[in-house]
Structure 1
């Protein structure tokens, strides 16, 4: 126990804070709003919160990929609106089957992201400049596709509408997902331990793996209990967790994921190591475009309509803020897809708390901005600490 505490203090000294700051902030936010209104942590509000984070959260997951290579995608809001508009026009106006319109809408986001990624990689113009042009272009294309009507209402009983309105009402669904999730985490940690042990690398003890899995299991089963007290496990939240976990495996367990992190450590060093820089950069922006499209469909599902306002407002800022607040570094090379989940929980918790306590939206913006600024400052200090120890 003492050695683990010592190792934890060493990591803090090296600037490796992990998700600790955002977890502390999230707990503090929940305590404050629960003290102001006892309904904040009610099953109904937490269930709604679990669905509200999905649309923007999926977009934020794509932003994580871009931030990992030290770049920024400013077009995700427009791409999300464009994908939703493509789906609505094809399905509602043209009668294309929902499943086919859904696939075309997602592929539209993938194609847009790939085009921007290839342009950025080939011209070496910063991604934020390329995607800033894309923000205007894709927003204009969305307005053109929607035409003079401006708003298209989706089928309330359709596939897309069900994405955010369907719940697994049987208690076993939520508890089953919690058990499977904890089991998979234990197996993944155990396999990683065995692999590291076989090649003589430092590895976690079985006690530590058991403790980590136990804490996760407690959190997962508590969440399942709360969700079951309202309407059950939301389909949207389940899809969100599966996507985040799947892309986390892609980043941490595949050759492509290691290339993404390597690129965040330095483009020139990656080129000299014979990494396919252009290919990886193009793929990263394609992932961002794909996630923006999927997120846009979930946002459209939430209100069962697509309008000229889709993808606008604070959507882009919230997606970027979620990734950064959750712990993804603006300097590249550090972060996970779970950063988007934690960041969105903070942002939506603040928004929900403001709504339930009738606090002005202006205050919500100021609080979110303050949390984002604090996250950036922490990230900067962590970077300096790592540089001072030769680890960045």
Structure 2
């Protein structure tokens, strides 16, 4: 990362002519130039900070391979369908990431999504409740389930693996009970539930979102770096801020342009990305987010620092199950029904796999919300390509397993590299 420091001139400190800002020689800084940015990137890679680089390279390779085998792979229609398909599991993955940051695991996200889907369909169809109210009730059920898991884990000391394994079985049983002998409840194709995955925005909305997003990013970064500069702290110079803004704008412009070639930007994908961005801001910019990382790094150290470890654990499991419930709602919206198989198939495996493939460490304390987006895109890209090639699910599972194993190996190598770098090794 390129950083530059200006400090108030003082005798005997730094270099430079009188009146010019001086750089604190104790700080690791990089020149604000392309060569400086490349040096910073190489330094991070040597230190085990791989970031999203392996995932991005993997996405490019997947696109090249499948496009060479089927020229419809990168068509606007297929890419638009892909963004809608990954929304449900992507929301579940976002919740799984929160739990993984604690160094724990949640095996119940699939069952919780199925239970919430059943609650949604039963309330909206059998009891005639407003669909919006039914959606709110389904989300509330997910939140309460997660809080229950968190309390049992944090207060009673039952391992999270056991608690959520019991939840996987128990909530799946309640899911089946709610749907009873019918096994399925069909929802309206025109109501609020269907709208979540069937709504596409006209092109002007997509372009407006791009402009607003880039301007908000630039304005926020400028404000933050200005405060750092005035405080005498390391800050990003103007060229780097503009360069980062351009890097953000390129995929946004490209993505919106492609999606507008079909039906426009889908609401389902915006909801997914919105939760990813919101969670990322919470984790990076709030005290709560820093406490989550602290507990994941070392719960005992966090406790000694005055952090309420129990509160963090309970709240994280609540958030994870709430996001799983939202994923279940998306599944109902996309299929126009809640059935006994909703959330009970591959959703759990894919949610955990996407989190790890996206870059979240299984060892806790490392990862970010964008892992859900990157991991979801990887798995969605593989599934979409194999579907176009009319290959069976068995092939997809084997390929996903291989990609997951590679991601875990990279994580282990990254951890080893960080340890070596911290000891001053080459």
TM norm structure 1: 0.97
Q: What secondary structure sits across from 2:182 in the alignment?
A: coil
Aligned equivalents of 1:199, 1:265: Cα separation in 2: 29
The 5 A counterparts of 1:283-322 are 283-322=315-354
Aligned equivalents of 1:322, 1:158: Cα separation in 2: 30
Which residue of 118, 125, 134 corresponds with 2:151? 118
> What is the match of residue 251 of structure 1?
283
> What is the match of residue 157 of structure 1?
190
Shift of 1:215: 1.9
Aligned equivalents of 1:107, 1:55: Cα separation in 2: 17
The 5 A counterparts of 1:366-385 are 366-385=398-417
- Once the two structures are superposed, residues 124-149 of structure 1 have per-residue CA deviations (whole angstroms, 9 ceiling, x without a partner) of 33212210111001001111111111
> What is the match of residue 269 of structure 2?
237
> What is the match of residue 13 of structure 1?
46
> What is the match of residue 24 of structure 2?
none
2:238 is aligned with 1:209: no
Q: What secondary structure sits across from 2:181 in the alignment?
A: coil
Q: What secondary structure sits across from 2:152 in the alignment?
A: helix
2:52 is aligned with 1:51: no
> What is the match of residue 219 of structure 1?
251
Q: What secondary structure sits across from 1:67 in the alignment?
A: helix
Aligned equivalents of 1:152, 1:118: Cα separation in 2: 32
2:184 is aligned with 1:184: no
Answer with 179-188 or 228-237: which moved more: 179-188
The 5 A counterparts of 1:45-84 are 45-84=78-117
> What is the match of residue 85 of structure 1?
118
Unaligned runs of 5+ in 2: 1-33
Aligned equivalents of 1:33, 1:192: Cα separation in 2: 42
Shift of 1:298: 0.3
Matched positions, count: 390
In structure 2, relative to structure 1, the CA distance for the partners of 1:386 and 1:123 (3 Å cut) is: farther
Aligned equivalents of 2:403, 2:369: Cα separation in 1: 19
Shift of 1:34: 0.6
Aligned equivalents of 1:54, 1:191: Cα separation in 2: 32
Higher Cα Rg, which structure: 2
Aligned equivalents of 1:187, 1:5: Cα separation in 2: 25
Which residue of 151, 159, 167 corresponds with 1:134? 167
Answer with 191-200 or 65-74: which moved more: 191-200
2:390 is aligned with 1:358: yes
Q: Would you say the 8 A contact 2:46–2:421 is kept in 1?
A: no
Shift of 1:189: 2.4
Aligned equivalents of 1:36, 1:115: Cα separation in 2: 48
Shift of 1:359: 2.1
Unaligned runs of 5+ in 1: none
Q: What secondary structure sits across from 2:49 in the alignment?
A: coil
> What is the match of residue 207 of structure 2?
175
Aligned equivalents of 1:85, 1:177: Cα separation in 2: 34
- Once the two structures are superposed, residues 139-181 of structure 1 have per-residue CA deviations (whole angstroms, 9 ceiling, x without a partner) of 011111111111000011110111001111x211111111112
Shift of 1:203: 2.6
Give 4+ residue runs of structure 1 displaced > 4 Å after superposition. Answer: none
> What is the match of residue 58 of structure 2?
25
Shift of 1:369: 0.8
The 5 A counterparts of 1:316-331 are 316-331=348-363
Shift of 1:123: 2.4
Aligned equivalents of 1:198, 1:333: Cα separation in 2: 31
Q: What secondary structure sits across from 1:306 in the alignment?
A: strand
> What is the match of residue 275 of structure 1?
307
**Whose RCO is larger (CA < 8 A, sep 6+)?**
1
Shift of 1:243: 1.5
In structure 2, relative to structure 1, the CA distance for the partners of 1:88 and 1:133 (3 Å cut) is: same
Q: What secondary structure sits across from 1:389 in the alignment?
A: helix
Answer with 203-212 or 140-149: which moved more: 203-212
Aligned equivalents of 2:56, 2:224: Cα separation in 1: 25
- Once the two structures are superposed, residues 26-61 of structure 1 have per-residue CA deviations (whole angstroms, 9 ceiling, x without a partner) of 111011101111100000000001111100000000
> What is the match of residue 132 of structure 2?
99
In structure 2, relative to structure 1, the CA distance for the partners of 1:88 and 1:263 (3 Å cut) is: same
Answer with 362-371 or 111-120: which moved more: 362-371
Shift of 1:324: 0.6
Q: What secondary structure sits across from 2:338 in the alignment?
A: strand
Aligned equivalents of 1:310, 1:59: Cα separation in 2: 13
Shift of 1:219: 1.2
